[in-house]
Amino acid sequence: MSSDNTERFKKPLPKVNDLVHGILTNDLTILSKAITLIESTKPEHQKIANAVIEKCLGKKTETLRIGITGVPGVGKSTFIERFGKMLTKKGKKVAVLTVDPTSSKSKGSILGDKTRMQELISDPNAFIRPSPSGDSLGGVARKTRESIVLLETAGYNVIIIETVGVGQSETAVHDMVDFFLLLKLAGAGDELQGIKRGIMEMADAIAINKADGDNIKQAKQAETEFKRALHLFPPKDNGWVPQVIRCSAIKNRGLEIIWAMMENHFAQTKSSGHFNDNRRQQNKSWLLQYMEHILKMDFTKNSKVSKLLPVLTNEVMDGKISPFRAAEDIMLAYKSS
């Protein structure tokens, strides 16, 4: 996606100050353009994007970041659309981003379908952006973090990060949000089966969606089961007790309760200092991840390394030299350039 989109940047490239000004005035065209620069793999685009983010980080805003996950079929799109509409009616400005590392490979992208969230897309107080393409989850996650900074600077004060509940992307999303919501479905066989323990453990709340019509009884049963299951986990460091709530996004039921619960969570963690601590730790891990990324990039792109590595790899594979000798020779070449 980014390679197609970035073709539209004719020389001269957009100026950092123009982009920052456009973002601050919530110019949607410029905001989209800046995010496209973030998603680009071209070094000249990344340089501008980093400078823009740098300036945006200086603008402090009060925002809430909410992660939402759930397996395909749980009703994530409808939930986010209705939840988002409810929030814009309350005067919030809502941005929706997606972390879906599979989207570049398969056609099953959870936001690939452009008919999704039509109502929210046309809402002037909402901004929806599909998953950036990327080779790795790390790359996608980094681009999402960077996009959050721009969106918050543009005035969006509730950022929803959606992800599919099938891979390791949950951990990445959990590491960039203030609240992590797991959507579940009642009445789809053994409810607890197939839930990864790790995802349950990360959740600040479980919302049992589609709790309507014939499903109500099963949803109540699932609620009891999940509450019991959540008790098996050790308490969270911030003192928050994960909640289980039934809802029906399509019938607009339970959404107010979920929002009230989130507000309660934010109030509690802000007054205890955990809200801020969590963001500080997230900044730290952002730095360390980015640090490792540029160290590896610098190493693999080094001209001496890229010449020597394939040659010595072959010799190691043939058993002619040891991995240590090869690795040390490559390190020496790297350090001498």
Contact between 291 and 285 (Cβ < 8 Å): no
Minimum distance between the CB of residue 169 and its own copies, rounded to whole angstroms?
18
Binds its own copies (CB under 8 A): choice among 227, 296, 301, 307: 296
Interface with its own copies, residue 291, by CB under 8 A: yes
Interface with its own copies, residue 286, by CB under 8 A: yes
Minimum distance between the CB of residue 336 and its own copies, rounded to whole angstroms?
12
Minimum distance between the CB of residue 320 and its own copies, rounded to whole angstroms?
9
Number of residues that bind its own copies (CB under 8 A): 38
What would the x/- binding string for its own copies be over residues 244 to 283, using CB under 8 A? ------------------------------------xx-x
Query: Contacts by 25-30 with C-beta closer than 8 Å and gap 24+?
Result: 26/154, 26/155, 28/127
Which DSSP category does 266 fall into? H
Contact between 200 and 220 (Cβ < 8 Å): no
Nearest residue (CB) to its own copies, 10 versus 335: 335
Nearest to 65 by CA among 245, 269, 279, 288: 279
Interface with its own copies, residue 333, by CB under 8 A: no
Minimum distance between the CB of residue 335 and its own copies, rounded to whole angstroms?
8
Considering only residues 37 through 66, tell me which ones interact with its own copies, judged by CB under 8 A.
50, 53-54, 57, 60
Binds its own copies (CB under 8 A): choice among 298, 301, 307, 311: 298
The reply to whether omega before 72 is within 30° of 0 (cis) is: no
Nearest residue (CB) to its own copies, 3 versus 276: 276
Minimum distance between the CB of residue 298 and its own copies, rounded to whole angstroms?
7
Contact between 23 and 56 (Cβ < 8 Å): yes
Burial zone of 89 (CB within 10 Å; 0-12 exposed, 13-18 middle, 19+ buried): exposed
Minimum distance between the CB of residue 270 and its own copies, rounded to whole angstroms?
16
Q: HSE-up of 168 (CA within 13 Å, CB side)?
A: 5
Contact between 44 and 6 (Cβ < 8 Å): no
What would the x/- binding string for its own copies be over residues 300 to 329, using CB under 8 A? ------------xx--xxxx-xxxxxxxx-
Integer angstrom CA distances of residue 220 from 199, 294, 295? 21, 49, 51
Interface with its own copies, residue 118, by CB under 8 A: no
Burial zone of 27 (CB within 10 Å; 0-12 exposed, 13-18 middle, 19+ buried): middle
Nearest to 64 by CA among 93, 86, 27: 93
β-partners of residue 69 are 163, 182
Contact between 313 and 329 (Cβ < 8 Å): no
Interface with its own copies, residue 194, by CB under 8 A: no
Nearest residue (CB) to its own copies, 27 versus 315: 315
Nearest residue (CB) to its own copies, 136 versus 313: 313
Binds its own copies (CB under 8 A): choice among 252, 295, 307, 311: 295
Integer angstrom CA distances of residue 146 from 135, 174, 336? 17, 15, 33
Nearest residue (CB) to its own copies, 259 versus 334: 334
Q: Residues interacting with its own copies, by CB under 8 A?
A: 50, 53-54, 57, 60, 280-281, 283-284, 286-288, 290-292, 294-296, 298-299, 312-313, 316-319, 321-328, 330-331, 334-335
